[in-house]
Amino acid sequence: MDRPIFHFALAALVALLLPFFIRSGTLATEVLVFAIAAAGCNLLLGYTGLLSFGQGIFFGLGSYTLGLALIHTTLPLLPTLVLAMIVGSVVAIVIGALSIRRQGVYFVMLTLAFAQLFYFLAYTFSDITGGDNGLIGIPRRGIGPLALNSSWSYYGFVAVIFLISFAALQRIATSTFGRTLLAIRYNGERAQAIGFPVRAFKIAAFAVSGAVTGLAGALHALLIGIAPLSDIDYHMSESLLVMTIIGGTGNLFGSVLGAAFYLIVSDTLSAIWPRWLLLLGALLIVLALFIQKGIWGLIESGVGIVRGRRGGPDAMAPGVSGSERP
């Protein structure tokens, strides 16, 4: 259950099967876009132990960067996505570097303050961002001969990027760097004491997270054809954190589950009842109370119980489920 290749196969399966379960190409695409962003959030929260409200900033700036580039320049699509990643990453480095000067609650407060600040900036400079109306009229450029003008062709494009991002994040999570981040999450003081400049590593984690989240933001703007103000709202940070946490922190595939769950449930509830947010809130409370390791944790213990009954080797031994992962 802990093998990266297995998790990648699951992610590929999700990308392959979503179209069969979700009739709306937009919703299906949104699931993958937010899965990328949640995985980026997970790198900070699950692997480094940093609860950042800055994620919405990186996401929103990704949206604006793509929008501005496609509207005002003739840049092809792929370089535009790279640009969004660079912007997300650079801003994440700056915000990360300033925020990690404080720890715990004060760190969280700082990222929250930055989230408010950037929202306000986007709102105020409406000449550039479109303010309340969002940045509208973003053309969806194709890639070479590939036109991405139908919702399912765009889904295919996003699915490929999703899988590349997922594999890259997996590689990073199991790299020397990723394991060092995990060590920092488990015991930052010891990590520092054995010689790691912990702050620099946290900033590097921000850089990666910012790039991935900026990419997701760009894909989101391209999906809906506008870069809405809500992409940079601090509610965006909140949603991304909720997806990451209900999916299960410290496990990248958990983020895919979290994003899918959050978006599909929201979509279903909103069709049933206009006050659906109330239901979503109640559901999240129940989840937070009863499944502390997220959906992935629930699945892991489910598998553990089944294997235990069959007398599988070590299925319920302490520390086996996620002994190497948080």
Partner 1 sequence: MKGALLSTDGLGVRYGSFTALSEVSLSIGANTIHSVIGPNGAGKTTLFHALTGRVRPSAGRIDFNGHDITALTDDRRVRRGLARSFQVTSLFHRLSVRENLRLAAQGRTPWQALKMWQPAERNQDATAIADSILERLELTRVAGRSAEELSHGQQRRLEVGMAMASRPLLILLDEPTSGMGIDDIATMKRLIADLGRDHTVLFIEHNMGIVMDISDRVTVMQSGRKLVEGAPGEIRDNPEVRRAYLGSMMTGGRA
Residue 325 CB, shortest distance to partner 1, in Å, is: 8
Q: Cβ of 28: how many Cβ atoms within 10 Å?
A: 26
The single residue listed with the structure tokens 């599988």 is 312
Whichever of 144 and 195 has its CB closer to partner 1, that residue is 195
Interface contacts to partner 1, rule CB under 8 A: 171-172, 174-180, 182-183, 186-187, 189-198, 200-201, 204, 208, 318-319, 323-326
Whichever of 179 and 235 has its CB closer to partner 1, that residue is 179
d(CA 216, CA 158): 9
Residue 277 CB, shortest distance to partner 1, in Å, is: 36
Whichever of 74 and 323 has its CB closer to partner 1, that residue is 323
d(CA 69, CA 242): 30
Which residues neighbour 250 within 8 Å (Cβ) at sequence distance 6 or greater?
A: 42, 46, 47, 182, 322, 325, 326
Whichever of 191 and 218 has its CB closer to partner 1, that residue is 191
Residue 174 CB, shortest distance to partner 1, in Å, is: 6
Residue 233 CB, shortest distance to partner 1, in Å, is: 30
Whichever of 132 and 324 has its CB closer to partner 1, that residue is 324
Nearest partner of 56 among 227, 308, 224, judged by Cα: 227
Write out the E strands in 50-150.
none
Which residues neighbour 189 within 8 Å (Cβ) at sequence distance 6 or greater?
A: none
Residue 100 CB, shortest distance to partner 1, in Å, is: 15
